[in-house]
Structures are given as C-alpha cells and as structure tokens.
Amino acid sequence: MLFKLRQSWELPEAAATPEDIYMNRRQWLKAAGFTGLGLGALFAGRGPLASSALAAIGGYPFARNKTYTLDRAITDEVEATTYNNFYEFGSSKNIWKKTRNMKSDPWTVTIDGMVETEMTLDATDLIDRIGGTQERLYRHRCVEAWSMAIPWSGVPLANLVKFARPGAGARYVRMETFMNPVIAPGQKQSWYPWPYVEGLTIDEAVNELAFLATGIYGKPLPNQNGAPIRLVTPWKYGFKSIKSIVRFTFTDERPVSFWEQLAPTEYGFWANVNPGIPHPRWPQRTERLVGTGQRVPTQMFNGYGEQVSDMYAALGITDPRELYY
Ligand code: MTE
C-alpha cells in the first residue's frame, strides 16, 4: 500500500508524531518513490503457481461450508493468484513469480505469550491437531478499493485459540510473518517495520468469520497468496489478513500492526470495512471487482454486519469511526 500523494503524510500528523517514527516514515516515503497502488495489474507471463505448502494435508478440495454465500461471482483464479499484495516480495501487484524461492513446506509455527504452554510445531501438524478443515466463500476487500470473491480452504481461527488455551488476561492475538530478507528482498527495505505484524482482539479471533486459510480454489495456497497459512478476516480491509504466519502471540497489549506503525492515521487497528470513512487516497464508497472491472457499492463490514456487529456493540463501541482506528 504505497502512497501516491506526498502531501497526506505531511499534514498535522507529522507534527504530533515522535521524531524517530517521523524520520523513519520520511525515509520510507523517499525510498518508496510513490510508485503507488492503483497502477493496475501487470500481467506479463501470468499463470497461477500452486507451489505450496501444507500439501501434506489431504482431502483437497474440502467440503464447502454452505453458511457463507456470495452476492457476486467467484473471482477468476488466475486474477486472484497474479494480482497480489505481498510487500516482502516488492510493492507491485505482480510479485507472484518472485515468491518462487520461498519454501513453505516444512514450516514451523510458534504459539507463545499468555498461553498455558508455549509451543513450536510443524504447520501441518498444527492444522491437523486443531481440526475443522473446510472451504468458505468470502468477499475480500482491499483498502485500495478493489475486491475479489474467493473460495478459501482452512480452519476457523477460533479452533487455534481453543488449542492454544490463552490465560484469562490475554486480550489480543498478535500474528507475525516470517523474516528472511534472502528470499524476500522487500525485507531489505529497512524503512518498513519488518516483520509484517497484525493483531485481533480475542473476541475477533474467536468470531465465526475469522479463518486461517491454508488453501485457495480447492488447492494448497500458492506462495503469493500467503502459503502455507494466512489469516482471512473478510469484514476487515485486506491488510489485516496477514500472510505466511510463523507466530501467534497471546498478549494483554494491543499489537501495533505493520501499516499502523507507518501511518496510524491511515491504517487503523480495527480496519473494519466502512464506506463512510474515506481513505486519503481511495474513496471507500465503491469498489472495483478484480477480473470484471465492474464497480459496486461497498457495504459496512463488507456485508458481514450480521456476524460481527453484536460483537462490537458488546465492546461498547458505538462510534463507527472507532471501528476503523
Ligand atoms: N501479509 C504480508 N505478510 N505482507 C503483505 O504485504 N498485504 C496485505 C495482506 N497480507 C500483505 C499481507 C494486503 S494489503 C492485502 S490487500 C492482502 O494481503 C492481499 O491478499 P491477496 O494477495 O491474497 O489478495
């Protein structure tokens, strides 16, 4: 999510920001060069790569959970696997070939922090043990105002939370992507706060929609889509859906996510899809369907209000703006 307009960074926010963070942002801006999102996909030599990962999990395609239906056609598989955001491999949408060197099998995942027993285990073993594999159709809405509709395979995140047995004081789950600048050259760009981090409240993590995807289109995830295991939170903007997770940390401190560190006034912790809160570069009232180019109205919570609004009401959140920051 690069920035096309320098000006938005240099508004009052800069004055209120600690100098080290501000300098870090300025270096980042300079180096990022505002090449920007919304340049459109560059589809040279396209073709999805099913190079992953958790292939040891049998049973693909998993039975579809029919609770989750779509109001639009499923996005073409080639589009969904060649138009990606994965900044570890660069800032263009066309990074799928660059992810080829990533080895997503074997893969270890650590569960730590405020849990009964900290552990590090093989991702295949983890998925096997937490159980609940299934396929779900979800809308997928990026803050850049494009969207897709994707058949994800995986397990409910709630199953991982249950497996981890967090202590009563744990309020958040912080997730972290791998760190390896040798295979992910984007991580050599020191103005980004690597590794990529995201977080959810425990309530959000156990919400029925929160999903750990291990596959897409009835097959293991290709690297560019976050192999071997990534988050999918369809009521939030896509940047919350952290890819290639290596660590789940249960904590009582609200995690500061990758994009939030760079631009807290632009990328909120909650980041719930909200057509009423415009982003400085992307008005949010409508979205472009990747593949067809059709523009459709954006819905509050990306259309998942029925599943999540009670959860926020129970937290006492009534101001819709809080649902973004
Ligand atoms: N996770 C990591 N580790 N690195 C990233 O750059 N990009 C995010 C999210 N997860 C990102 C990430 C953004 S901005 C979006 S919109 C989605 O991944 C894109 O997922 P997709 O490429 O599968 O459509």
**Pocket lining: 271 vs ligand 1, CB cutoff 6 Å:** no
Report CA(288)–ligand 1 centroid distance (Å): 17
**Pocket lining: 206 vs ligand 1, CB cutoff 6 Å:** no
- Model confidence at 129: pLDDT above 50: yes
Report CA(308)–ligand 1 centroid distance (Å): 22
Choose which residue among 152, 236, 239, 267 to substitute to test ligand 1 binding: the one with the highest number of ligand atoms within 8 A of its C-beta: 239
DSSP string, 140-173: EE-TTSEEEEEEEEEEEHHHHHHHH-B-TT--EE
Q: Name which of 100-109, 144-153, 282-291, 313-322 the model is least confident about.
A: 313-322
- Model confidence at 138: pLDDT above 70: yes
CA atoms within 13 A on the CB side of 74: 14
Residues 276-300: what's their mean pLDDT?
96
Q: Is residue 217 packed enough to be buried (19+ CB in 10 Å), middle (13-18) or exposed (0-12)?
A: buried
2-to-91, 143, 217, 288 alpha-carbon distances in Å:
7, 12, 28, 18
- Write down the pLDDT at residue 53: 56
Report CA(116)–ligand 1 centroid distance (Å): 30
- Write down the pLDDT at residue 165: 98
Q: Name which of 9-13, 115-119, 279-283 the model is least confident about.
A: 9-13
Residue with the nearest Cα to atom 19 of ligand 1? 85
**Pocket lining: 242 vs ligand 1, CB cutoff 6 Å:** yes
- Model confidence at 263: pLDDT above 80: yes
Interatomic CA distance for residues 87 and 243, integer angstroms? 10
Owner of token pair 């307009």: 5
Owner of token pair 């097959």: 219
Q: 136 in helix, strand or coil? A: strand
Look over the chain and give the mean of its residue pLDDT values, rounded to a whole number: 86
| Cβ pair 260, 268 in contact under 8 A | yes
Report CA(103)–ligand 1 centroid distance (Å): 18
- pLDDT band per the 50, 70, 90 thresholds, residue 4: very low
- Write down the pLDDT at residue 44: 30
The minimum-distance atom of ligand 1 relative to the CA of 177 is: 3
Residue with the nearest Cα to atom 11 of ligand 1? 86
Interval 292-312: pLDDT, tens: 999 999 999 999 999 999 999
| Cβ pair 176, 154 in contact under 8 A | no
DSSP string, 229-298: -EEE-TTB-GGGS--SEEEEEEESSPPPPHHHHH-TTTS-SS-B--TTS--SSS--SEEEETTT--EEE-
Residue with the nearest Cα to atom 21 of ligand 1? 84
**Pocket lining: 214 vs ligand 1, CB cutoff 6 Å:** no
- Write down the pLDDT at residue 55: 63
The minimum-distance atom of ligand 1 relative to the CA of 86 is: 6
- Domains defined along the chain, listed by start: 13-323 (3.90.420.10)
Q: Which two tokens stand for residue 3?
A: 């920035």
Residues 165-183: what's their mean pLDDT?
98
- pLDDT band per the 50, 70, 90 thresholds, residue 325: confident
**Pocket lining: 257 vs ligand 1, CB cutoff 6 Å:** no
Interval 14-71: pLDDT, tens: 222 233 333 343 343 343 332 333 222 222 333 444 545 566 677 899 999 999 999 9
- pLDDT band per the 50, 70, 90 thresholds, residue 107: very high
The minimum-distance atom of ligand 1 relative to the CA of 144 is: 16
How far from chain centre, in Å, is Cα 246?
Answer: 14
